[in-house]
Structure 1
Amino acid sequence: MAALSRATRRVVVAHLTDCGMSPAEISAELGVSRDTVRRDLADAPPSAPPAAPEPAPPVAPGLLLPDEPQLRRNLEVLTAAYGARPEDVARFAIHQAARHVRAWQTAHAREGR
């Protein structure tokens, strides 16, 4: 193995340690002494904290529906027809229904003038 810079070696040593290798195994792998591996570990910068999980998107109110047999069959039909996930089909159906209601409301508001 070609000689690594000290900075690069420290990163490699830290990674191999994280992978579960002992200092003896790392020294044999990299061709350096165990003392060098121990110094690299002692001088290594602290590990970055694990990334916090992304928060779940907020849930729209009222979308937990009772599991009714007809609702399930209708959802299965739409899911199969569109080749989409149930939540995507439900989202699409809600948007379509709302679009038609808005159009109806707009038409009735014009008639009321």
Structure 2
Amino acid sequence: MSRATRRIIVAHLTERGMSPAEIAAELGVSRDTVRRDLTDAPPPAVPAEPEPAPPVAAGLLLPDGVNLRADLDVLTAAYRAERPEDAARFAIHQAAAGVRRYWRARTAARQRSEAATR
């Protein structure tokens, strides 16, 4: 093993709490060699910044589960969709359209109520 490799291993084993005698026995070198490796060891390298994660494509990620899979299968069959994603997209649009109709109806009712009290 090269001296540089040994120094890295000695530094690592020291960080894990091993004594120079234990490291020497583990590596088959003298305690003086371990001490010298610790004394002459270069400063630890600064860890590189992790690379940023790649951007996630626009979409909806859901954890897969038995119930979700069964529900998607039902929707896919009901809407005669080719893919579960198409059925989910259609169901979401339908639910959102219902919520929008409800909001518009409430807003219109509130406006009529306010107009009647004036």
Classify the TM-score, shorter chain: 0.3 to 0.5
Larger RCO, structures 1/2 (Cα 8 Å, 6+ apart):
1
Q: Normalising by structure 1, report the TM-score.
A: 0.42
Greater Rg over alpha carbons, structure = 2
